[in-house]
Amino acid sequence: MNRNSPDKDKDNDEGIRLAKRVAAMAGVSRREAELLIENGAVRVDGVPQMLPQSRVLPGQQVEIAAGARPEPIVPVTLLLNKPAGMPTDNAHRLLVAANHHEPEREGMRFLPAHVKGQHCMTPLETGASGLVAYTQEFRIERKLQEDAGILEHEVMVDVAGPVSPEVLARLERSPARVSIGRQSDEQTGLRFALKGARPGQIANICDSVELRILGMRRIRIGRVPLAGLQPGQWRYLAPHERF
């Protein structure tokens, strides 16, 4: 009778799950070991490893940071500068460590768990760029849902050609507050401030006065600004920021 189970054979051939190794080293439960790993407290051969299901061989060195505690990961809210031409449904793919806003990297450590279960609360048209909010936080999700009709969005819109005073007056009768930021014979930069903005709404307003949109970029949602993010970059919502 073969006393070696298939699982033991697999452990011998491919190593064991990192969570199992950490649990044995730290004298904690498997779930607590997973939390230590997901919190970035574990290194394998000197390299941070944050996937509990990864496998390690007997000869590999596993280290647990001194003083690390198996605490649940705190939910976060992420702010992305969605590039123009990318559907919002696909933009979550940009929420990876390589696209984390560099000035913030040292102060806020990225964890893979920060992008799991993220909900996009402020979608944009595919052709538009700018600020999009994702959240794991129930209070933020509820706030954005409850205040959706009164939350102000600031959007910079480039349209073809000059905008006459008559057209501007018609725009000012729309639900948005509209002003001219810059103007030339080729194009005009308009600033829209609109409460409860919905995808397609600004395009409909411009269509109603026969303005052709060249580009659209959302730079603020409520009191939260785009704040220097380049297209494709993201940052964390800071503790002091409020929508």
> What dihedral angle (degrees, nearest 10) is formed by the CA atoms of 228, 231, 234, 237?
50
Burial environment of residue 84 by CB neighbours within 10 A (0 to 12, 13 to 18, 19 or more): middle
| Per-residue model confidence as pLDDT tens digits over 190-238 | 999 999 988 999 999 999 999 999 999 999 999 999 988 999 999 999 9
Tell me the C-alpha to C-alpha distance, in Å, between residue 134 and each of 53, 91, 127: 26, 10, 19
Provide mean pLDDT across the span 26-53.
Answer: 89
pLDDT greater at residue 131 or residue 66: 131
| Per-residue model confidence as pLDDT tens digits over 140-161 | 999 999 999 999 999 999 999 9
For all residues of the chain together, what is the average pLDDT? 90
Q: What percent of the chain has pLDDT over 70?
A: 93
Question: What is the DSSP-derived secondary structure letter of residue 115?
Answer: G
Contacts of 50 (CB under 8 A, 6+ apart): 37, 38, 40, 42, 111, 112, 113
The whole-number pLDDT of residue 194 equals 95
| Per-residue model confidence as pLDDT tens digits over 91-125 | 999 999 899 998 877 667 788 888 888 999 999 99
Yes or no: say if 18 and 44 are a contact pair by the CB < 8 Å rule. Answer: yes
218 φ/ψ angles, rounded to the nearest 5 degrees: -85, 125
- Domains of the chain are 6-64 (3.10.290.10), 77-236 (3.30.2350.10)
What distance in Å separates the CA atoms of residue 202 and residue 139, rounded to the nearest whole number? 28
The whole-number pLDDT of residue 1 equals 46
Contacts of 101 (CB under 8 A, 6+ apart): 228, 229, 233, 234, 235
From 23, 16, 107, select the one nearest 70 (Cα to Cα): 23
Banded pLDDT at 12 (limits 50, 70, 90) = low
What distance in Å separates the CA atoms of residue 93 and residue 75, rounded to the nearest whole number? 18
Yes or no: say if 130 and 217 are a contact pair by the CB < 8 Å rule. Answer: yes
Question: What is the DSSP-derived secondary structure letter of residue 27?
Answer: T
